[in-house]
Amino acid sequence: MKKTVLITGAGRGIGAACAELFAKHNYKVAINYFKSELKAKQLSNTINKNGGCCEIFYADVSNPKDVKKMHEEIKSKLGNPEVLINNAGIAQQKLFTDITLDDWEKMINTNTKSVFLCCKEFLPYMIHEKKGKIINISSIWGVIGGSCEVHYSASKAAIIGFSKALAKEMALSGITVNCIAPGVIDTDMNSMHNKQTMDILKQEIACGKIGSAQDVAHTALFLASDEASYITGQVINVDGGF
C-alpha cells in the first residue's frame, strides 16, 4: 500500500524537490501551499502526468483552523499522512537593531509555530497506528547562527530543540522525529544574496559548491524509509562541509 506524505511549503524549492522525489518512490504526495498556488498546481500536474499521485492543499500552516481543515481534506483524498515534512518557512536579512516586533512574530509563526501546529494535528493518527516519520527542515543557521539573521536563526534553532525533545516522547510509539539542517542551497530563499556574497559563501564550503534542493530531498527520503527506523532525535547537516 502506498504511503502518504505531507510536505508543507512544497510549491517551490526544497519542498518541491521532496514532492517530486517522493512521488517517484511511490508515495501519495500532499503538497501544501500558501502563496505559491500556481507553482503548486504546475508541480502537481507534472507529478501526475509522470504517473505519480499528487494533490495540492491550501493552508496557512501558522493558522490552526487552516491546518485542521487541510488535514480533513488530505484524509479524504489521500488518507492520513504517515510521513510529515515540515518545510514551510521564510527568511529575512536585517541587523538585529532593525528587526521589528512584526518581523519577529512573522518569522516565529511561519517557521516555528507551523511545526508545532502540524505535529499537534497529525501526530494523534501516527500514535494510534504506532508508526510515523516526522522530518523538520531547520537550517545550518539554526546550528551555528547567522549574522544579520537573528530572528531566522532563532526560529530554526527552536525547531532543533523541538525535534530532539519530541523524538524522546514519540520513540516508544514507533515514531521517529528528525531534523535536516540545510546549508547554502540553490533556492529562491537565497536569492536575497548577490553574486559576491554567494561566492564568499561557496569558498567556505568544503565541497566547493552550492547545494541543491535535491540534496536535501534525498536525505528526507532516507529518513522517511524503513532503513532509518533506528535514527531519531538527530540533526543532519546537509551543507557540503560548510
Residue ranges of domains in the chain: 4-236
Among residues 27, 33, 152, 230, the one annotated as catalytic is 152
Helix, strand, coil percentages for the chain (3-state, nearest 5): 55, 15, 30
Predicted confidence at residue 186, as pLDDT, reads 85
Q: Is residue 1 scored above 70 in pLDDT?
A: no
Kindly report, residue by residue over 164-204, the tens digit of the pLDDT.
999 999 999 999 999 999 999 987 766 665 677 777 777 88
Predicted confidence at residue 191, as pLDDT, reads 61
CATH class for the region spanning 4-236: alpha beta
> HSE of 192 in the Cβ direction (CA atoms, 13 Å)?
10
Q: How far is CA 198 from CA 59, 117, 184, 203, in A?
A: 32, 34, 9, 9
Q: Is residue 232 scored above 70 in pLDDT?
A: yes
Cβ within 8 Å of residue 12, ≥6 positions away: 36, 39, 187, 188
Is 58 among the residues known to form the active site? no
Cβ within 8 Å of residue 197, ≥6 positions away: none
3 state DSSP class of 13:
helix
Q: Is residue 212 scored above 90 in pLDDT?
A: yes
Q: Is residue 84 scored above 70 in pLDDT?
A: yes
Beta strands in the chain (DSSP E): 4-7, 28-33, 53-58, 83-86, 132-137, 175-182, 235-238
Predicted confidence at residue 51, as pLDDT, reads 96
Number of neighbours of residue 114 by Cβ within 10 angstroms: 28
Q: In what order do the strands lie in the sheet with 83-86?
A: 53-58, 28-33, 4-7, 83-86, 132-137, 175-182, 235-238
Percent of the chain at pLDDT > 70 equals 95
* 187 close to 140: Cβ distance less than 8 angstroms: no
- Tell me the residue type at 138: S
Q: How far is CA 174 from CA 34, 219, 226, in A?
A: 31, 20, 11
Kindly report, residue by residue over 93-143, the tens digit of the pLDDT.
999 999 999 999 999 999 999 999 999 999 999 999 999 999 999 999 999
Q: How far is CA 182 from CA 105, 111, 153, 179, 232, in A?
A: 23, 14, 12, 10, 18
Q: Which residue has the higher pLDDT, 23 or 2?
A: 23
